[in-house]
Amino acid sequence: MPTISLKVELLKPTIEKQNVYQTMTQTNTDFANWLLTYDDLNKATSKVFKLFSSNKQLPSAVVNQTIRDVKSQKRHQKAKKYKRLWCAFNNQNAKIEYDRLYKISFPTLEKRIGVPLVVRPFQQKWLDKILNGEAKQGTVDLFKKRGRWFVTIAISYDVEKTTNEKVLGIDLGLKNIATCSVGTKSLFFKGNQIAFKRRRFSSRRRKLGKLKKLQAIKKSKDKESLWMREMNHTISRRIIRFARSNGVGLIRMEDLTGIRMAKSKKEAGRNLNNWSFHQLQTFIQYKAEMAGITVEYVVPNYTSQTCKCGNCDKQNRNGLRFKCKKCSYKNHADLNASINIAKALSGISKHKQVI
């Protein structure tokens, strides 16, 4: 069942409410850090909160959720001290409601009431799906960003798998951000304009750095990552449209865990090395799942050096040109790689599990 998470702003909570949320967050963080050092964590129930503090308060729904979180963190050996742990509520405790306005209710230290939400048009259809039972609401997190309070709502839903059978391969890179191929059809997203725009961002920041305008530098960084996110949304949307119109039922991408994208120093210099390829893959994956298309990750080894005749040789590839040393087969190098990815030539990655 695919899951998405929706970030929705709370409509102007009063100062009193904001103070309550802030206090809850602080108590929750302290409680989580205390739990990390608590010997009987595995047997802990909500009663353990009394041992942590006899005068502080936290709704038992949050206490239980935090115990679960800390346990799972410890199991995965990621148990570092929490800088901050936002309050989380499971689907029994946080409820979406509609009464002229979309609202969410969750337990706080005061009485439980529905808090109105600022709902954007694309979010409305997801909240409606929860209300009419077409989608299932999961955990809700309450958090603050730049002085505004939000909830993230996990939503899972059923999708009918497409009966399409074709396989689409996607090669991600620096010269071409994404190269897609299915059968004889291909789709390229060139990296040069994106790299140009990113260089402008960074040269502007260098100037600001000399002037010590730290606030403006931070603003520019935020602006760039928003822009990058929008680009990744656009690219992924177009890839899924391309997949649907070409009868694709399966998308294969490389498992990039631990891979540096630059294949040469020259490429790294193009300043796309820290492009958020992980974000792009995430967007492609959830949009594919929404369209009933399966996603698989393949082992990234040698995808760009291997020929369809089976000959694998570093010399086969020269920049964007691919020419097999053995059978003389020629193709665009990124396109050749995407064809190899579609065939899962180097095998399906065991490392990266598809969500």
Which residues are the active-site residues?
171, 254, 334
In angstroms, give the least distance from the CB of 174 to Zn ion. 25
Block residue for tokens 């909160």: 49
Which residue, 77 or 328, has its beta carbon nearer to Zn ion? 328
- How far does the chain reach from its first CA to its final CA, in angstroms? 9
Can you tell me which of 60, 311, 331, 346 binds Zn ion, judged by CB under 5 A?
311
Q: Report if residue 307 touches Zn ion, rule: CB under 5 A.
A: yes
In angstroms, give the least distance from the CB of 312 to Zn ion. 9
In angstroms, give the least distance from the CB of 326 to Zn ion. 5
Our CA dihedral for 260, 263, 264, 265, rounded to 10 degrees, sits at -30
Question: Hey, is 48 helix, strand or coil?
Answer: helix
Q: Report if residue 327 touches Zn ion, rule: CB under 5 A.
A: yes
**DSSP single-letter state for residue 271:** I
From the list 25-33, 71-79, 146-154, 329-337, the region that binds Zn ion by CB under 5 A is 329-337
Question: Hey, is 26 helix, strand or coil?
Answer: helix
In angstroms, give the least distance from the CB of 323 to Zn ion. 9
Cα gap 120→193, rounded to integer Å: 30
| Nearest of 125, 156, 170 to residue 303 by alpha carbon | 170
β-strand partners of 152: 7, 141
Can you tell me which of 329, 331, 343, 352 binds Zn ion, judged by CB under 5 A?
329
Q: Report if residue 44 touches Zn ion, rule: CB under 5 A.
A: no
Q: Which two tokens stand for residue 225?
A: 């990552």
Q: Report if residue 32 touches Zn ion, rule: CB under 5 A.
A: no
Q: How many CA atoms lie within 13 A of 305 on its CB side?
A: 9
In angstroms, give the least distance from the CB of 324 to Zn ion. 3
Can you tell me which of 1, 259, 290, 309 binds Zn ion, judged by CB under 5 A?
309
Q: Report if residue 302 touches Zn ion, rule: CB under 5 A.
A: no
State how beta strands 114-118 and 321-323 pair: unpaired
CA distances from 239 to 5, 148, 273, 314 (A): 21, 34, 21, 29
From the list 2-10, 81-89, 227-235, 310-318, the region that binds Zn ion by CB under 5 A is 310-318
- What residues numbered 105-134 form the site for Zn ion, per CB under 5 A? none
Count of positions on this chain that bind Zn ion (CB under 5 A): 7
Exposed (0-12), middle (13-18) or buried (19+): which is 306, by Cβ within 10 Å?
A: buried
Can you tell me which of 324, 339, 341, 342 binds Zn ion, judged by CB under 5 A?
324
Q: Which residue ranges make up the site for Zn ion (CB under 5 A)?
A: 307, 309, 311, 324, 326-327, 329
